[in-house]
Structure 1
Amino acid sequence: MSLRGVHKVFLMDFFSVTDRYDTVLLLMNGLGIAKRIDLLPLLFKQLDAIMNPQGQLLCSSFDICDVNDTESNNRDFYQEVRYQMRYKNVIGEPFDWFSIGVGKLRQITEANGFSMTVVKQGEEYEYLARITR
């Protein structure tokens, strides 16, 4: 990573981070680090601890939904899955992950004292959201 100009790299569990940040990026369906939808409030608790007062979370997910539903902001979709990675003869431990629709994320965001705006909605129901206090 230093060849790309990144000089300070940490490999650590998100939930053990103690430094404070102006912007937290959880891209490529990164909200899934919460593992399950019922654990998403723990992610918001961690964000509250590590985001500066005017800080923001930029996150992306996708909304697998009825393609005839044009009211994206009203969707309450979420999907939980269990993955297990494999490369040749190396098999990783199974882990939980989820994706969440715009409506359900907004509902949980507001229930945890944050607000959310959709920055960009893609053609395939993927979206980029900005979450602030």
Structure 2
Amino acid sequence: MDVFGKALTEFFKKGDADILWLHNSYADVEEMPVEIFFRSEEEMPPLELQAINLCYGKVLDVGAGAGSHALSLQKAGFDITAIDISADAVDIMKHRGVKKALTQSIFSTKDKYDTLLFLMNGIGLTETLACFVTFLSQAKELIHPNGQLLFDSSDISYLYEELPKPEGYFGEISYCYEYQGQKGDWFNWLYLDQETLQLTASQNGWKCEIIFEDGEDQYLARLTIS
């Protein structure tokens, strides 16, 4: 059941939606505001605007959701392809005017791009630190020479100030969406602190630049092949 896609669809059709709940592996259930996936460029935070401004060449928007970032890039004249594993989300993107929107995982992508863009903690879809390392190897085959990875992530160590840290890397979280009483499948998500990211990137042949920090543990990173 694509619970996330159902919530997006209802908001797109009605301009409103019931509460989308996000269960997690570390604390109480949280509310996920559906409207944030439909933000205009004027409503986007500085971090996302910075990322959009740093894009160049042929761009792949990964985990594009309702397509807000793709629409902004398309309006600016970029050759932009938007992908998401939610067929409902891709259908919404097409209706909103994204010219190239595909139901696809980054792990099945074969084309090459100049910019791979992951926003709203989108790099988390790599799920674990080990899988992120595997992805870094794959990404070298997906970008042209002088290409780049752009993504934001967060240091979530603050979650464990009063709780024992889990075994393994603390940035590996599990989530489950719930909408109108229906729960989706649990899925894993990765948050990278800056020190771990920079060390992992360096060990796997990438140069990592921290481009922007929002002062609330979230940051924008740019990776290029070293």
**Shorter-chain TM-score: what band?**
0.7 to 0.9
Structure 2 residue runs of 5 or longer lacking an equivalent are 1-92, 159-168
2:18 counterpart of 1:18: no
Q: Indicate how the Cα distance of structure 1 residues 94 and 65 shifts in structure 2: closer, same or farther if over 3 A, else same.
A: closer
- Contact preservation (8 Å) 1:78, 1:101: no
Q: How does 1:108-119 map to 2 (within 5 A)?
A: 108-119=200-211
Q: How does 1:49-128 map to 2 (within 5 A)?
A: 49-65=141-157, 78-128=170-220
2:120 counterpart residue number: 28
TM value normalised by structure 1: 0.85
TM value normalised by structure 2: 0.51
| CA distance in 2 between partners of 1:10 and 1:31 (Å) | 18
What is the CA-CA distance between 1:84 and the residue it aligns to?
1.0
Asked which structure has the greater RCO (Cα within 8 Å, sep 6+), the reply is: 1
- Counting aligned pairs with the same residue, the percent is 33
Instruction: Look up the equivalent residue of 1:107 and give its one-letter code.
Output: L
1:6 counterpart residue number: 98
Q: More helix by proportion, 1 or 2?
A: 2
Per-residue CA shift, 1:62-115, capped at 9, x if unaligned?
11346xxxxxxxxxx851111111111321111111211111000111111011
| CA distance in 2 between partners of 1:64 and 1:53 (Å) | 33
- Contact preservation (8 Å) 2:119, 2:152: yes
What is the CA-CA distance between 1:123 and the residue it aligns to?
1.2
Structure 1 residue runs of 5 or longer lacking an equivalent are 67-76
Q: How much is the aligned-residue C-alpha RMSD, in angstroms?
A: 1.6
| CA distance in 2 between partners of 1:103 and 1:18 (Å) | 30
